[in-house]
Chain A
């Protein structure tokens, strides 16, 4: 039995924040759960995918976040509970649906999880999605640890139904990817069916309806504020003996503030906001009135700080407020205990840290950024593209493992902004540049946001080559299926959507499908495609090496080795090709037999035929 289906109430189990959210949703009787995978949110969907059949819920990896939200809205508007999860930038994709849904409101509980990524551990920006709560007028809860992830998810469904509004559950990497003990309760089976009761004056947001519904939303936000005032998630913790110094904080920052203030032996009160939008105004006013100095500790944007300053000004409270506006706390990157301790020391006039400096990492220590795996078909594709173009092309890249092609030796990414952007960017680049333009997009990303760009390019006659790097999965986030897959996550057969048919249907006249492990054919296809006027498409199709079937020796095709007698030390295999199994140390190039995936690409890369099939 899967751990998150634990049946004995009161059992303490070790759960990732994301798993705790999934468990909370199951205990809330969720009926429909949707997502598009993205770090640091992926394990919410992955956990629910694993147990969906046993738990009797409907789960899908939707084509993108917008569709995920829309599917969940359809279910929740009918009266069942729905959970939709995504990474922070996914909410940008979904925002169009989400912000108007706040006007119609919901019937069944609707919870949207946004997992933010301060420090961009696995993201292209570190936007602060608390602004979405403010922007849309959507109540928001912010858990700080796995137990709270679990409890707040359950509570979020209740609040959503009470207010008939969607609720945002906002985590960050250090909440979503923290593992800790969670004491669980009882799983509740949600209804499988409900009847959508028609109410066009609520759910059809023509202008006349929208104008009325906006007032309804504002009214409900006042009710939401009352819930925040009473919420058990907005608590004051005493540090030491408490006193006239105060800290207002939320989310992961609350953990650092708690540990740091204890380490500093502060005598202070800490107001932790778990139900952070709308803010509990009365509770905060009381806190501001009863403290002389209040430090606002929050990661990224000064959302709480701005609200606190505004409250104090509005009510004429003479409390000293300290935060980012004073430069006491940084506005970029995630916090840790040391950063918060330094900020609190300055805020409360304590002497700075005096401890000895920790030892430093040796300056010449070789770096180890993430790389394309042994046997990665993208590595082969990039080698072929470099060979065909001699790097004399502009490369528009996209979001996925293949973005790692930005690094030498391939340097196969010149511009990247968001999911699906390669296709649109390529059109603009091609209009004003003479160099050939090549766009790279993964299969899942193509389905997610690449198709409208391709339609646009065909219609407007943009001239570029689109390479769809089809590794048959959503690899980077943990190998989730996508619309091109033949099985859904529970193993049931579903209709795979053919990339060729989509490309053809968009009106593309030049299309080739190649196996990137075949360097010669792939190189020739690229050369030919670049002579085509208009949009050309190459689908480079080969299963991700991490999920491809292997033989008993661990090879996808055949393991290889470098014959040292034939090796001419030209280093082509490490300077023009990249494979973690091939290393060059002390002027000797070798293949690690354990790491070798047996793709055979290096044998085609070697100009002296020194790389040979292992016996």
Chain B
């Protein structure tokens, strides 16, 4: 049983990311249940999706129970921290989307080091992935969500295999499939190579 807690900003493709996990699980013959954020919250706000692989009836992940936190936006990683326990691996994109409150209330946007420090001691650690750069290298700058799912797959925390995820990419992202598979592969290597 694996609990994956996804966070990001509306418009980043977080639902597609969770669908990739869901279809990968189905391809692997496992039970899975996902929950999604739709509607008003999607307009540039903080968004959450959950993916629970295994024998779960309910879709929401209790505090302290996430096995993996997958974050598509650096600051949002911190909002997911209550889902952490010492067995949680956090995987965060370094992509920054500056919220309005930073501009108007002169609040500070955290650095990678500050985010990492917050996860120290309360989790298994934080992997950061330069998802936008890897997506651009793959020729699909909008596919940082695919890169991050690649990193998740590469981290070896889901109990699913690479081929299951690749099949899910084929099923969900028919446009520019070759490039998206490259984006996935770049993410996979980043997730695999990271020191935990």
Which residues does A use to contact B, with CB under 8 Å? 12-14, 16, 39-40, 42-43, 121-122, 144-145, 174, 177-181, 252, 254-256, 258-259, 336-338, 355-356, 358-362, 364-373, 401, 403-404, 408-409, 476-477, 574-575, 578, 580, 582-585, 594
Contact = CB atoms under 8 A, between A and B. Distances in A.
Nearest to B121: A359
B45 A361 contact: no
A369 B45 contact: yes
B59 A174 contact: yes
20 contacts: A14-B26, A39-B38, A122-B40, A145-B57, A174-B35, A178-B59, A181-B31, A259-B57, A338-B62, A356-B64, A358-B63, A358-B81, A358-B85, A359-B118, A367-B46, A368-B9, A371-B100, A408-B104, A575-B104, A583-B102
B39 A40 contact: yes
Nearest to A15: B22
Contacts of B40: 39, 121-122, 370, 401, 403-404, 476
Given A337-B62, A403-B40, 9 more contacts: A13-B26, A14-B19, A122-B41, A178-B35, A368-B46, A409-B104, A476-B39, A584-B102, A585-B103
Nearest to A578: B100
Nearest to B107: A366
Contact of A336 (B58, B84, B102, B110): B58
Contacts of B105: 366
B62 A336 contact: yes
Given A145-B57, A355-B64, A367 B99 contact: yes
B151 interface: no
A254 B56 CA distance: 12
Nearest 5 CB-CB pairings of A with B: A39-B39, A122-B39, A370-B45, A255-B58, A583-B98
B57 A361 contact: no
A359 B102 contact: no
Contacts of A368: 9, 44-46, 75-76, 99-101
B109 A177 contact: no
B122 A359 contact: yes
Contacts of B108: 364, 366
B45 A259 contact: no
A361 B43 contact: no
Interface string B69-93: 0000001101101111100000000
A337 B58 contact: yes
B149 interface: no
B157 interface: no
Nearest to B22: A14
Contacts of A373: 11, 43-44
B2 interface: no
Contacts of A362: 78, 81, 118
B103 A574 contact: yes
Contacts, number: 174
B17 interface: no
Given A16-B36, A39-B40, A177-B38, A365 B79 contact: yes
Given A337-B60, A367-B101, A580-B100, A40 B45 contact: no
Looking at B60, B97, B141, which has the most chain A CB atoms within 10 Å of its CB? Answer: B60
Contacts of B64: 355-356, 358
B36 to A, nearest CB: 5
A145 B33 contact: yes
Contact of A122 (B26, B35, B38): B38
Looking at B76, B100, B105, B106, which has the most chain A CB atoms within 10 Å of its CB? Answer: B100
Contacts of A337: 58, 60, 62
A372 B11 CA distance: 12
B107 A180 contact: no
B18 interface: yes
B183 interface: no
B103 A582 contact: yes
Nearest to B40: A122
Nearest to A38: B39
Contact of A358 (B36, B84, B99): B84
A370 B43 contact: yes
A380 B79 CA distance: 31
A181 B60 contact: no
Contacts of B103: 574, 582-585
Contacts of A180: 22, 32-34
B67 to A, nearest CB: 14
A177 B58 contact: no
Given A179-B33, A585-B109, A580 B78 contact: no
A458 to B, nearest CB: 32
Contacts of B122: 359
A174 B43 contact: no
Contact of A365 (B35, B58, B75): B75
Contacts of A174: 35, 58-60
A233 to B, nearest CB: 15
A574 B62 CA distance: 37
Nearest to B114: A362
A360 B43 contact: no
B187 interface: no
Given A359-B81, A361-B78, A585-B109, A179 B45 contact: no
A250 to B, nearest CB: 13
A390 B174 CA distance: 50
Contacts of A584: 102-104, 106
A355 B84 CA distance: 13
B51 to A, nearest CB: 9
A359 B56 CA distance: 24
Nearest to B102: A366
A609 B40 CA distance: 34
Nearest to A39: B39
A585 B26 CA distance: 44
Contacts of A370: 10, 40-45
A147 to B, nearest CB: 10
A524 B43 CA distance: 30
Contacts of B32: 14, 180-181
A594 B12 CA distance: 13
A366 B58 contact: no
A122 B42 CA distance: 10
B168 to A, nearest CB: 9
B162 to A, nearest CB: 19
Looking at B19, B58, B59, B79, which has the most chain A CB atoms within 10 Å of its CB? Answer: B58
A258 B57 contact: yes
B83 to A, nearest CB: 7
Looking at A40, A252, A366, A371, which has the most chain B CB atoms within 10 Å of its CB? Answer: A366
A464 B73 CA distance: 44
A613 B49 CA distance: 38
A582 B102 CA distance: 11
